[in-house]
């Protein structure tokens, strides 16, 4: 039963709700756009602003975040942690209703009670919108007219593309690549600057880490963390084939892939498989390729002796059920990156292959991948300028062969190194890069995708 106001039309700025409001918006204000001497928007104000936006056009959460951000010219972005409780409140109180829309997202529409509440607070809403206009000119203030016009053109083009229902994943990825490319090229013309890492947030996070080594560009790569709705999906195995002697490619399909989002090759899904003792085990796998039109998802499994996920991959047949969760978020690496070096073993090969295939035309990429033998090497369709090195090794926990090959690879300023392998291998390569090659930590991401002798274990390294 929804909690409706006794008299919707004459309520003004309701202050109470089921959430600890002060903590939420104090955190929020600390993270994003605190006005001089006060908060950018308090909860009551945000509710009114949201109502006024959905009175013009029903919208889902992400659209609302972008609308408020646009209104404030990018100087204030409500995080999902603030926006969704606000929407839930409006729904509970009866000012808005949530309706299922394209892609299983909820679209919010204003109700008659909401319209009445909005009308009763019209003056406040107008003041809020005017405040948006004042605060919103941060980037534009002093920008040449031609730049402001180009920004408007970009915004209109994005709206045109993204407001259509069911935007294909390929289009989203193309837009993200174009925007990153534009950002990188604009940043390349900027004077050097050093930015301190921001604190983690619940929603979208952009982090630039300080540069520590001489000889780097002075500009920093940008790492944007984007959270996704966390859902379990019941799928079906469409095919299971041997890609190479030690890699099985499994294609999953099903309507529940609707809305599946993976923006970065570093993403992972959780695969739920029988643990062999009557329970369920979860393991991490890279979304190697997602096709939103046919609703298919490809996962590649490195074959090793033990482990429930590997056993599952070895045993499944077309028609078998499969269950995945996530990705819960994407870490999109961009900014003024001039070249990439991608290093890993066969568990990192799906991420490395995807990264290479999604790379923009002409970008210099060097890959060093350790596999058991020649037949385990793979080829990639890419427009990037790829130099692929394959290292054949017997011991997956020996970093020496990879490091030996790495010695000949130049690490010019502006080179981003992405690396994932067995934990001790990743650690040793990272130590070599930082200690012997003086590669800045800001230009390096290293992970242990598995740890020898330990089931279901990964390793992360502090930046
Ligand atoms: C972000 C992320 C993405 C990943 N993407 C992929 C992917 O796309 N494809 C992929 O194959 N793997 C991937 N991995 C690695 C994979 O999750 C692990 O290898 C996982 O442990 C395999 O599960 P399992 O049930 O087979 O073995 P577990 O039950 O986890 O482990 C059982 C035993 O096998 C050992 N072991 C685990 N993996 C290996 C291995 N590769 N070689 C030799 N011994 C091993 C363990 O040390 C343990 O002793 C990814 C990991 C992360 C963190």
Mean pLDDT of 260-279: 95
Ligand 1 centroid, distance to 456 Cα (angstroms): 7
CA 95 to ligand 1 center in whole angstroms: 48
- How many angstroms separate the alpha carbon of residue 440 from the centre of ligand 1? 28
What's the gap in Å between 283 CA and the centre of ligand 1? 7
Atom of ligand 1 nearest to the CA of 311: 26
Tokens of residue 136, six digits? 């919103």
Q: Does residue 104 form part of some domain?
A: yes
Q: What is the domain count for the chain? A: 2
Q: HEC states along 32-65?
A: CCCCCCCCCCCHHHHHHHHHHHHHHCCEEHHHHH
pLDDT above 90 as % of the chain: 54
The protein residue whose alpha carbon is closest to atom 49 in ligand 1 is 453
pLDDT for res 200: 32
Is 227 a domain residue? Answer: no
DSSP 317: -
Average pLDDT, the chain: 81
The closest-lying atom of ligand 1 relative to the alpha carbon of residue 345 is 41
In a domain, 446, yes or no: no
Per residue in 208-244, pLDDT (tens digit) is 444 344 334 558 898 988 999 889 999 999 999 999 9
Cβ distance 463 to 209 under 8 Å?
Answer: yes
Tell which one of 247, 288, 298, 307 to mutate to probe ligand 1, the residue whose CB is within 8 A of the most ligand atoms. Answer: 307
For the cut 70, the answer to whether the pLDDT of residue 103 exceeds it is no
Residues 79, 81, 86, 91: is their CA dihedral positive or negative?
Answer: positive
Band of residue 201 on the pLDDT scale cut at 50, 70, 90? very low
Residue 368 CA, ligand 1 centroid: distance in Å: 19
Other CB atoms within 10 Å distance of the CB of residue 423:
22
Give me the CATH number covering residue 38: 1.10.10.10
Using the mean position of ligand 1's atoms as its centre, give its distance from the Cα of residue 401 in Å: 21
Distance of CA 65 to the CA centre of its chain: 16
Closest CA to 354 of 250, 253, 264, 261: 264
**Residue nearest atom 43 in ligand 1 by C-alpha distance:** 304
Residues paired with 177 in a beta bridge: none
Query: For position 101, what pLDDT does the model report?
Result: 66
What average pLDDT does range 25-54 have in this prediction? 62
414/410 Cα distance (integer angstroms) = 11
Q: Is 459 left (phi over 0), alpha (psi -120 to 50) or beta?
A: beta
The residue contributing the CA closest to ligand 1 atom 48 is 455
Measured CA to CA, the distance from residue 460 to residue 463 in angstroms comes to 9
Mean pLDDT value of segment 153-181: 76
Q: Is the pLDDT of residue 34 over 50?
A: no
Ligand 1 pocket: which of 274, 277, 347 to mutate (most atoms <8 Å of CB)?
A: 347
Q: How does residue 69 score in pLDDT terms, banded at 50, 70 and 90?
A: confident
Distances (CA, A) of 48 to 27, 41, 95, 280, 351: 20, 10, 10, 45, 43
pLDDT score at 149: 58
Alpha helical stretches, state H, 163-254: 169-188
More confident residue, 399 or 174: 399
Please identify, by atom number, the ligand 1 atom nearest to the C-alpha of residue 310: 26
387: three-class secondary structure by DSSP: strand
Which ligand 1 atom lies nearest to the CA of residue 286? 8
CB 401 within 8 A of CB 375: no
Q: What is the pLDDT of residues 428-447, one digit of tens each?
A: 999 999 999 999 999 999 99
Is residue 115 a part of any domain in this protein?
yes
Of 119, 135, 151, which residue is a domain's last? 135
Q: Would residue 97 count as lying in a domain?
A: yes
What would the 3-class secondary structure string for 90-138 be? HHHHCCEEEEECHHHCEEEEECHHHHHHHHHCHHHHHHHHHHHHHHCCC
- What CATH number is given to the structural domain containing 249? 2.40.30.10
Best probe residue, ligand 1, of 445, 449, 452, 458 (max atoms within 8 Å of C-beta): 449
Q: Is residue 112 domain-resident? A: yes
Percent of the chain past pLDDT 70, that is, above it, reads 77
Max CA-CA distance within the chain? 75
Boundaries of domain holding 107: 8-135
CA 396 – ligand 1 centroid, Å:
12
Nearest atom in ligand 1 to 283's CA = 17
- Closest C-alpha to 203, from 338, 381, 93, 62: 62
Ligand 1 centre to CA of 92 (Å) is 44
Judge contact between 364 and 409, C-beta under 8 A.
no
User: Minimal CA–CA distance to 392: which of 407, 411, 379, 405?
Assistant: 405
Closest residue to atom 38 of ligand 1, CA basis: 450
Query: What pLDDT is recorded for position 167?
Result: 77
> Comparing 169 with 27, which gets the higher pLDDT?
169
Of residues 15 and 455, more confidence is placed in 455
Q: What is the pLDDT of residue 188?
A: 65
Instruction: Name the closest-CA residue to atom 52, ligand 1.
Output: 449
Ligand 1 centroid, distance to 268 Cα (angstroms): 12
The last residue of a domain, from among 135, 166, 199: 135
Report yes or no on 282 lying in a domain.
Answer: yes
Same domain, 12 and 131: yes
Distance (angstroms) between ligand 1 centre and the Cα of 300 equals: 11
Any domain includes 144: no
Last residue of a domain, one of 277, 303, 329: 329
Distance 460 CA to ligand 1 centre (A): 15
Residues framing ligand 1 (Cβ under 6 A): 268, 283-286, 300-302, 304, 306-310, 347, 350, 396, 449-456, 458
Centre of ligand 1 to C-alpha 235, Å, is 21
| pLDDT on residue 106 | 82
């Amino acid at each position: 039963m929804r909690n409706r106001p006794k008299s919707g039309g004459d309520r003004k700025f309701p202050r109470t709700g089921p959430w600890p409001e002060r903590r939420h918006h104090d955190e929020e204000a600390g993270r994003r756009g605190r006005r001089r001497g006060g908060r950018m928007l308090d909860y009551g104000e945000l509710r009114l602003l949201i109502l006024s936006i959905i009175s013009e056009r029903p919208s889902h959460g992400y659209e609302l975040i972008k609308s408020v951000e646009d209104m404030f010219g990018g100087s204030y972005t409500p995080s999902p942690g603030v926006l969704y409780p606000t929407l839930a409140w409006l729904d509970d109180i009866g000012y808005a209703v949530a309706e299922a829309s394209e892609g299983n997202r909820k679209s919010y529409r204003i109700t008659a009670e909401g319209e009445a509440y909005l009308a009763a607070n019209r003056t406040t809403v107008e003041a809020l919108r005017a405040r948006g206009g004042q605060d919103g000119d941060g980037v534009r203030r002093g920008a040449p007219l031609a730049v402001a016009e180009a920004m408007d053109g970009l915004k209109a083009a994005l709206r045109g593309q993204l407001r259509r229902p069911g935007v294909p994943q390929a289009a989203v990825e193309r837009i993200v690549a174009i925007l990153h490319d534009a950002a990188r090229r604009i940043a390349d013309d900027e004077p050097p600057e050093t930015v301190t890492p921001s604190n983690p947030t619940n929603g979208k996070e952009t982090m630039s880490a300080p540069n520590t080594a001489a000889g780097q560009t002075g500009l920093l790569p940008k790492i944007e963390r984007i959270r996704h709705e966390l859902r379990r999906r019941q799928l079906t195995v469409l095919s299971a084939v041997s890609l190479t002697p030690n890699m099985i490619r499994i294609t999953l399909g099903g309507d529940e892939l609707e809305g599946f989002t993976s923006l970065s090759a570093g993403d992972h899904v959780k695969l739920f498989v029988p643990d062999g003792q009557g329970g369920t085990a979860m393991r991490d796998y890279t979304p190697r390729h997602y096709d939103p039109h046919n609703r298919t998802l490809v996962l590649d499994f490195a074959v090793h002796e033990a482990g429930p996920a590997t056993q599952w991959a070895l045993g499944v047949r077309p028609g078998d059920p499969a269950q995945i969760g996530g990705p819960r978020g994407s870490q999109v690496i961009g900014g003024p990156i001039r070249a990439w070096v991608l290093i890993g073993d066969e568990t990192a090969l799906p991420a490395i292959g995807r990264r290479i295939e999604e790379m923009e035309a002409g970008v210099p990429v060097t890959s060093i991948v350790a596999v058991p033998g020649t037949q385990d090497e793979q080829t990639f369709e890419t427009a990037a300028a790829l130099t692929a090195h394959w290292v054949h090794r017997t011991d997956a926990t020996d970093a020496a062969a990879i490091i030996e090959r790495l010695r000949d690879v130049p690490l010019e300023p502006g080179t981003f190194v992405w690396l994932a392998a067995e934990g001790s291998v990743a650690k040793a390569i990272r130590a070599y890069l930082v200690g012997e090659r003086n590669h800045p930590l800001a230009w390096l991401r290293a992970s242990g995708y598995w740890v020898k002798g330990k089931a279901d274990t990964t390793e992360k390294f502090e930046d």
